[in-house]
Amino acid sequence: MRAGGTTAGRAATPRPAPEQQAPTGLRGRLRRYLPVVLVPNGVVVLVLIVFALAGLLFTGTSLAALPATIAQLWLILNLVPVSAGGIVLGVLPLLPAMGLAALIARRVHVAVRDRVSMADLLVLALSAVVVPLVLTFIATGMMWDAGRVFDVGPPPVGQAVARTLLVHLLALATGMGGRLWRALLRRYNAPEWLVDATATAVRILLLLSAAALVVMLVLLFTGWSRQTELAAIYAGGPGMVGSSLISLLYLPNAVIAVITVLLGSEFHLGAASISLYAIDLTALPPLPLLALIPAWAHPWSITLLLVTSIAVAYVLSNVRFNIRQTLATSAVTAVLVLIFSYLTWGEIGHLGTGGPMIWLTAGLALAWTAGIGVAAALLGRLADRRAAKPAKPAAAPETEPDPEPEPEETIEEVIDSEIVEDEEVEAEEEPTEEEVAEGEATEGEAAEELMQEPEEETAGESEETAESQEDNGKAEDPERRD
């Protein structure tokens, strides 16, 4: 911009961004939507390589174990069981997997933010599933190959596929968003309230998660002595920092465990079992998170079931669902609880199998939401029926009748009601041509009669005037004669 020129002091007008053309053909769609999933997964793999290399250098392990370490980190990130030294770890931390799912969901949401076609969505969904599955199969093959040199083994293929699919399908479903899901349901003539039912189920689980965190804080303060004993074991060294970091990674797992107990189910850690009714503990790993578990169940701990009922009732009271929608919400809640219970269940080394009682927990989630929700729906229907009943009219005092509306306004209202409500009525009330002709003839005869009546009256008046003049003349003649 030149100083003193014609454009000096004027703000530069931003140029409109060129519209991105919709991809056509399979190749064009792959070029646009495959990087949506490939880029975040590739970035995650690079980060895992850096972590694996740093870990091997820090521990002084041979770099020959680098491929197996990278494969193990990818499997752990996707909640796939890993085995090393004859120990199988199937209960893996949820926090890293949640971070991966959030990253992919964000990328998917940005990709489908604009208008997309069904072919675009199909390519995106296949990419979101195929890419992580390919990486999981590669990691499984690397573990199998490393097993000939190191004491490691490949994971069960069925669990590897199932858990990878669940993690990335949850990320895809979350990233698509409610608006796109509504459009899909509308396209296939499915009820759109399924989106509202799913959102309500998610709100119920989030509120239960908040309640679980509150319960964990109460256990932390009431059992602070166990935390001090644990700190004395590590003597405040790096071991305490490492155990605290592991506890932080397993924090979402602990939340799901507390939700399991609040629903009335049981949570197992090998031979140990925790519920509201009884706690039976064995030797557990020295972790701050496990030190929250009390040694025995308080007799009043069963009253914590009220927390679940209040949380479910609070969420369902803010929505006016009928029985069908309530049952759908209950089903979605049970399915989500089933998925997260499965993802936090598995083998825990020498302890044995640990995690929630999957089917019992899902069934109790279904019972809580369905029972409270159906009761709320029935009460709401009863209240609506009572409100719809007409009240008995009271004896009104005699008052003067309201003035009639002006004719013009009445005519306009009638015309408007005919146009809006029933056009056929207006068409039926239009006069026929014969009726119009007869009306015109009648109006013409009436006009002629009206024209003739004044003429007759005028003639009669002139005759009366003439007669009066003659009488006056006759009266005047005798006077003149006199």
Distances (CA, A) of 309 to 6, 204, 210, 302, 370: 72, 11, 14, 12, 11
Q: CA dist 111 to 16, 38, 114, Å?
A: 20, 13, 7
From the number of C-beta atoms within 10 Å of its C-beta (0-12, 13-18, 19+), residue 44 rates as: buried
Q: How far apart are CA 235 and CA 227, in angstroms?
A: 12
Token pair of 175 as six digits: 């990233």
pLDDT, tens digit, for every residue of 167-200?
Answer: 999 999 999 999 999 999 999 999 999 999 999 9
Question: What is the distance between the alpha carbons of residues 464 and 469, in angstroms, rounded to a whole number?
Answer: 9
Q: Tell me the C-alpha distance between 266 and 356, whole Å.
A: 6
Helix, strand, or coil (residue 432):
coil
The closest of 168, 66, 179, 187 to 124, measured between CA atoms, is: 168
- pLDDT at position 90 over 80: yes
Can you read off the two tokens belonging to residue 370?
A: 């369905």
Global pTM reads 0.76
What does the pLDDT look like over 224-277, one tens digit per residue?
Answer: 999 999 888 887 778 889 999 999 999 999 999 999 999 999 999 999 999 999
Phi, psi of 348 (to 5 degrees): -125, 65
* pLDDT band for position 123 (cuts 50, 70, 90): very high
> What is the per-residue DSSP string for 288-322?
TTGGGS-SS--GGGGGGHHHHHHHHHHHHHTS---
pLDDT tens digits, one per residue of 411-432: 333 333 333 333 443 444 445 5
Q: What is the DSSP letter of 351?
A: G
